[in-house]
Amino acid sequence: MTPSPDSRGVLLHAFDAHAAAYIASHPGQARASRRDIDTLSRLAEAIVASLALWARLCERLDLAREPGRDPRLAGALVLESVFDDLLVPSAWNVLRAALDLAEADG
């Protein structure tokens, strides 16, 4: 699904704001910060692709899945439990914004 130009603009603005805050939180390390941002963006694309696969597989479950549960909830819980502890808050903000963009473009 392609987002509308307005919603994509809002997502890009949020990503840019979080990326700028991340760079600002590491004075004198702009090059490393930009590399991190690029890696976080690539990570977001990989996560969105993986979550889409999870959702497709979960939809095929007949007896194992709880009725009425959205498979995306599992993905959100996994993301929060892993990356909340792994990343510094400013990097987590960049990753979340990159995930929003990747999901919208997906």
Q: DSSP secondary-structure letter at 70?
A: -
Q: How far apart are the C-alpha atoms of 60 and 11, rounded to whole Å? A: 32
pTM over 0.75: yes
68 Ramachandran zone, left/alpha/beta (phi>0; psi -120 to 50): left
Q: Are 97 and 47 in contact (CB under 8 A)?
A: no
Domain of residue 11: give its range.
Answer: 5-105
- pLDDT tens figures, 4-30: 768 989 999 999 999 999 999 999 999
Q: Which residue has the tokens 């095929």?
A: 60
Domain count, the chain: 1
- pLDDT tens figures, 24-74: 999 999 999 999 999 999 999 999 999 888 888 888 888 898 888 877 788
